[in-house]
Structure 1
Amino acid sequence: MKTILFSNKNHFIIASFVFLLISFRTVSFAQKVFMPTQWTKAAMEASVPFPEYPRPQLARNDWKCLNGEWDYKGGKDVASALNPPAPVSFDGKIEKIKVPYCPESVLSGIQRKQEINMWYRRTFDIPADWADKQVIIHLDAVSHNTTLFVNGHKAGTHAGNYDAFSFNITSYLKKGNNSLVIAAHDLNDGRVPSGKSGPRGDYTYSSGIWQTVWLEPVNKTYIKNIRLLPDLANSRLKVLVNTEGGGKVTAIALDGKKVVSEAESANGTYFYLPIKTPKLWSPDEPFLYNLNISLKDAQGSITDKVSSYFGMRDIKLGKVDGVTRPLINGKFIMQLGLLDQGYWPDGILTAPTEAALKFDVEFTKNAGYNLIRKHMKTEPQRFYYWADKLGLLVWQDMPAIWYPNEDTTKTRTTFRKELKTLIDDHYNSPSIITWVPFNENWGAFDVKNITSWVKKYDPSRLVNGNSGFNNNPTYQKAYGDPGNGDYVDTHIYVGPYGASVPEDHRAASLGEFGGVGLFVRGHMWPVANNAYEYEATKARLTDRYVFLLDQVEQLMKYKGLSVAVYTQTTDVEHEVNGLLTYDRFFEKMEMDRVKAINEAVIKESYKLKD
């Protein structure tokens, strides 16, 4: 998708018309501020937002999306939604909310700040051909404490902001119409991981349901989850399949439709799929193998089938001309990327549509970058699917906890639990090459031990224990450089000089730099806007960027720098230092020149060899 440029008069007229149309359609939402994107209208008109299958690496054909209009009650005056024993009554005033958009967003139809107590209700029918099936409900992200009721019965609870979870609700179902109530409680007080959405974060809160809710029928014996690990040294894929009810597992790897390997195993046992002369996954050639997995019961009958995919790649540290650098498939590739915060003026933490979700990834790729640092939040599985498919490396941040020194037994345990679930949820994605537990000492604690734990839990990836350890918020004592992990990482604004230099056991990373702003009238959030420095025109901002990248290249060649992450993909509320405006309508730099310098710097890295 091409970004709309306001230098084109027709595009300006179209965008203005869309703005007026959307504003007219949404006056009932009583919004005070509204900045539409080119996908807002489609999101508002969709009866079922995000109808795409939400879990590409464990896919089944049969499922039911529950996104769309739900009954809603929210706010401080409604009954507490924290582990309630029974659902509230939906008599009296009932609002409508569009799931999966958070109630703080305009797309939800509610647009109120920090609801705390949120109650959702809808009815649904079970398809006739699901009569003999187990029915699983999946909730891909809800903030923070969730309680599920099915036909008035409590069916499960969960605590977390960023991890997907599910419940088997079969025993609570009846023929015909069924009632589903979800209670979500979110204090948003910084005592659970909340990233930029927390009380010390910079942006609009996001509470309640914010990713897809869906149903899936399975047999009593079915595949629960899989774990995939490419082993390039031995030309094979390591596979683990966990099932409900046991059974024999068969896995088939395919190149397109051509079978390249097949193996069998029992439930819960690691096994290997040989991949002779594997086609490697890299940003330049993001080749993905297909993977089909089936499950047979003791009688030999197939009880489940799922489809998946995998990429054969590895990431490790090595020496290039005596310099410690990250190696992808044994080769050094300069990691040049964008800080990607994933915020939207219409959906806040939730992209308005699948096309919008893909857009940010595709824009980054088309601009000549090979890396996204997903900053202080996670995304739906389909975001990582597009990174896998299009060929972008991903650094995945853990969203910060803001008060780790208060009630440490509770808050720190919560952080560690959600960090583990974040890794588990996204373990199979070949695009993710680095975990980032902490950013700039925001809520940092026990960094050295946590860095070591992540490295031990997932030795197949690199770990940047504290990106930008040189920066520290005033409210907390600096933890400082943990001294371990795979990167020595500093943040320099505007930079890039002053960046880290490599050590014997750590590569040098410039985890954030740049942040140069440009004011674009008519495309800024209505608050005091800021950046680290400014340029007056698109041409001058582009000149500045090219100069910064020339300096990055010098650091890469002669000072051992291996990673540089520019701030940032888009403007975000008060920040005006994006390559795109917050609404994604306006490209703030001359993108052909940006792409040319990005590709030139990355190409130079290919020349650095032993």
Structure 2
Amino acid sequence: MSIPRNEYPRPQLVRTKWVNLNGEWDFAFDDQNIGLSEKWFHKNTSFDKKIIVPFAYQTELSGIHDPSFHDIVWYAREFTVPKDWQGQRIILHFGAVDYRAWVYINGQYAGSHEGGHVSFSLDITNQLTWGVEKVVVRVEDPSTDETIPRGKQSWVEKSASIWYTRTTGIWQTVWLEPVSSTNISKLGLTPDIDHGDIIVELEISGEFVNKKAEIEINFKGKRVASDTIEIFEPYNKRSIHLYNRKIFRTSFHHIGWNWSPENPNLFDIKISLKDNENQQILDVVDSYFGMRKVHIENGMVYLNNKPYYQKLVLDQGYWPQGLLTAPTDNDFKRDIELALGMGFNGCRKHQKVEDPRFLYWADHLGFLVWGECPAFPSYSEDAVARLTKEWIEIIERDYNHPSIIAWVPGNESWGVPFIKANKQQQHHSLALYHLIHSLDQTRLVISNDGWELTKTDICAIHNYNHGSKDETAKYEDFKESLSTKEDLLCSKPSGRGIYADGFDYQGEPIILTEFGGIGFKVGEDNGWGYTSVKNSEEFVADYRRVMEAVYASKALHGFCYTQLTDVEQEINGLLTFNREPKCDLTRIKEINDIWHTNIVKL
């Protein structure tokens, strides 16, 4: 049996040695919560089911395919560590486990993690026997707890409306890696295109005295820079200039060195950590980066110091057989290629922290990404703490990906229903906005995508009020509501104002970040859309009609169409849930490309 999802799972920090632990694991439901008292974590415990990791038990690909609620589940499998790894620290990595995880190695507690959407790692060296090892994982995923970040995962058993089948437990790759006791534990790469520099930040774990880091940077196979950092403390920072006249004999700005959807140029970087005394290599990591800059100016988004019109598509990242987990790595690539083929230049990854492999393909194919974390449904102090913790971990994991140009910490006042006037909920929104900027100065932050915005870098508006083709008056109102800056800022498309009380427009770019959602049933699929059509010709015509209203606006500086694919009962995608086109996709591209010739330049 082949190992599912066997690609290297951490593309921004690559080491050559690793072991994939995906595949068949033992599995059990613990509906009575007796596993701890009965010590199911012991090495000789056996479970009554089998599951295919990294697919959640609710999915078809897991081999279980049970959508009912089971709030506590257990996993177990045996493994062996390669003998030539002895003498090194052995790290056990989990791509993502929803929602709380406790990990045991050979019956001994190794560590825990809370947060269902990002990676965590444990040093399991001291628990190993160097024979046949056993890992046991206990997971809690409270089905109806509305204070945990859950996004679109339904808190009732049957999915309905905009809420989908839940994901419980391991849903991204599990893997092992050996590292030296002195190793590179963190790598930050910050581009500065105005000076032609890449700012490299290294954190060193272990004994750092009398060590050095040798850095080599290549662009399209050519060495462009190298440097050596003498290590005197755990945290190290160096700005490395990339422009080298001897190699390029011209400015980078004239040969297309920056990263963009049109030219997704990437630099390769290798860092070797060495002992100064004996020149022993302690650690080697490979990564990559893109030289790109995002900022706002004159009411527009600028990419690499030029105004850039964003043509995004809402992407929720669900698959019929794997739910939140893509069946294969190629599924990530294909989704991006389909979107690019329709004339979109990016996506808003909606209510999901996506697998780093998606971001890898976005970086390499040239696809902008707005990153978003699932919201909690109900406000509480615990909910605030949980969401804040996840955002810190999200930014740490995904900071180096050039494709990500914006973070979206809030959506349509989810979890903060009284933000219009409630000062506590407004402070929460402001706190996330400033926290994210304090961690990441290279990207934009949208405080509450849709309406009731507080402090924000983009005025992001949702409006599905385009009506059907026969509702001409409704369509004209929709078109007028987008027409000018004044019309957009005065609109209340869902009965809510664009800004919360005490906040107003400060000149930020205005983007229509949700609209469309034209429903079209293909085959036996049943469901809903914001409007509906009966065939592919009507589908293309209605898409054109809606986009003509967007392109007629004198104030919009981009859009995000809902949505890329159908998801369960939502049949309002440009593609079916199985990624089958609902029409000739070149016709969608023709409509999206109208912007190049007809849109009013801001």
Same fold (TM over 0.5): yes
Aligned residue number for residue 306 of structure 2:
331
Matched, 1:485 2:431: no
Aligned residue number for residue 113 of structure 2:
158
Assess, with a 3 A threshold, how the Cα gap between structure 1 residues 364 and 598 changes in structure 2: closer, same or farther: same
Aligned residue number for residue 452 of structure 1:
434
Report % sequence identity.
Answer: 35
Alpha-carbon shift at residue 89 of structure 1 (Å): 7.5
User: 1:93 and 1:459 mapped to 2: Cα distance?
Assistant: 48
Amino acid at match of 2:59: S
User: 1:192 and 1:462 mapped to 2: Cα distance?
Assistant: 25
Aligned residue number for residue 593 of structure 1:
587
User: 1:284 and 1:600 mapped to 2: Cα distance?
Assistant: 17
Cα offsets for 1:463-486 (capped at 9, x unmatched): 1111101xxxxxxxxxx221x211
SS of corresponding position for 1:355: helix
User: 2:398 and 2:407 mapped to 1: Cα distance?
Assistant: 11
Assess, with a 3 A threshold, how the Cα gap between structure 1 residues 81 and 492 changes in structure 2: closer, same or farther: farther
Assess, with a 3 A threshold, how the Cα gap between structure 1 residues 580 and 494 changes in structure 2: closer, same or farther: farther
SS of corresponding position for 2:236: coil
Alpha-carbon shift at residue 608 of structure 1 (Å): 3.6
Alpha-carbon shift at residue 257 of structure 1 (Å): 2.4
Matched, 1:220 2:181: yes
Matched, 1:110 2:108: no
Aligned residue number for residue 28 of structure 1:
none
Aligned residue number for residue 429 of structure 1:
401
Aligned residue number for residue 565 of structure 1:
560
User: 1:416 and 1:133 mapped to 2: Cα distance?
Assistant: 34
Aligned residue number for residue 236 of structure 2:
269
Give yes or no for contact 1:81–1:185 (8 Å, CA) kept in 2.
no
SS of corresponding position for 2:334: helix
Consecutive unaligned residues of structure 1, counting only runs of 5 or more, are 1-45, 470-479
| Structure 2 counterpart of 1:393, from 363, 368, 379 | 368
Aligned residue number for residue 135 of structure 1:
90
SS of corresponding position for 2:223: strand
Alpha-carbon shift at residue 455 of structure 1 (Å): 2.4
Give yes or no for contact 2:26–2:46 (8 Å, CA) kept in 1.
no
Cα offsets for 1:323-359 (capped at 9, x unmatched): x100000111210111000111111111111121222
Q: How many residues align?
A: 536
Give yes or no for contact 1:104–1:207 (8 Å, CA) kept in 2.
yes
Aligned residue number for residue 358 of structure 2:
383
Cα offsets for 1:178-224 (capped at 9, x unmatched): 11111111113221111101427600011000000000011111111
Give yes or no for contact 2:258–2:264 (8 Å, CA) kept in 1.
yes
Cα offsets for 1:54-110 (capped at 9, x unmatched): 11111011100000000111141353569x976168756621000000011111111
User: 1:202 and 1:80 mapped to 2: Cα distance?
Assistant: 30
Amino acid at match of 1:48: I
| Structure 2 counterpart of 1:287, from 254, 265, 268 | 265
User: 1:461 and 1:182 mapped to 2: Cα distance?
Assistant: 36
User: 2:302 and 2:84 mapped to 1: Cα distance?
Assistant: 50
Matched, 1:362 2:323: no
User: 1:77 and 1:485 mapped to 2: Cα distance?
Assistant: 46
Aligned residue number for residue 545 of structure 2:
547
Cα offsets for 1:490-516 (capped at 9, x unmatched): 100044633465854311011101011
Alpha-carbon shift at residue 457 of structure 1 (Å): 2.5
User: 1:75 and 1:204 mapped to 2: Cα distance?
Assistant: 20
Aligned residue number for residue 212 of structure 2:
248
Aligned residue number for residue 151 of structure 2:
195
Cα offsets for 1:229-268 (capped at 9, x unmatched): 1011111011101121223222211013211011222341
Matched, 1:441 2:441: no
User: 1:369 and 1:80 mapped to 2: Cα distance?
Assistant: 49
Aligned residue number for residue 422 of structure 2:
none
Instruction: Compute the TM-score of the two structures, normalised by the length of structure 1.
Output: 0.84
- Mean CA deviation greater in 375-384 or 254-263: 254-263
User: 2:65 and 2:113 mapped to 1: Cα distance?
Assistant: 25
Give yes or no for contact 2:43–2:106 (8 Å, CA) kept in 1.
no
Give yes or no for contact 1:223–1:244 (8 Å, CA) kept in 2.
yes
- Mean CA deviation greater in 348-357 or 447-456: 447-456
Matched, 1:259 2:223: yes
Aligned residue number for residue 181 of structure 1:
136
User: 1:371 and 1:453 mapped to 2: Cα distance?
Assistant: 25
Alpha-carbon shift at residue 289 of structure 1 (Å): 0.7
SS of corresponding position for 1:424: helix
User: 1:375 and 1:81 mapped to 2: Cα distance?
Assistant: 36
Alignment of 1:393-542 (within 5 A): 393-405=368-380, 408=381, 410-444=382-416, 445=425, 446-469=428-451, 480-482=452-454, 484-495=455-466, 497=479, 498-499=481-482, 501=488, 503-522=505-524, 524=525, 529-542=527-540
User: 1:102 and 1:603 mapped to 2: Cα distance?
Assistant: 46
User: 1:272 and 1:233 mapped to 2: Cα distance?
Assistant: 13
Assess, with a 3 A threshold, how the Cα gap between structure 1 residues 199 and 90 changes in structure 2: closer, same or farther: farther
User: 2:235 and 2:601 mapped to 1: Cα distance?
Assistant: 43
Instruction: Compute the TM-score of the two structures, normalised by the length of structure 2.
Output: 0.86
User: 1:263 and 1:366 mapped to 2: Cα distance?
Assistant: 40
User: 1:288 and 1:534 mapped to 2: Cα distance?
Assistant: 42
User: 2:549 and 2:527 mapped to 1: Cα distance?
Assistant: 27
Assess, with a 3 A threshold, how the Cα gap between structure 1 residues 460 and 532 changes in structure 2: closer, same or farther: same
Alpha-carbon shift at residue 547 of structure 1 (Å): 2.3
SS of corresponding position for 1:541: helix
Give yes or no for contact 1:235–1:275 (8 Å, CA) kept in 2.
yes
User: 2:562 and 2:44 mapped to 1: Cα distance?
Assistant: 45
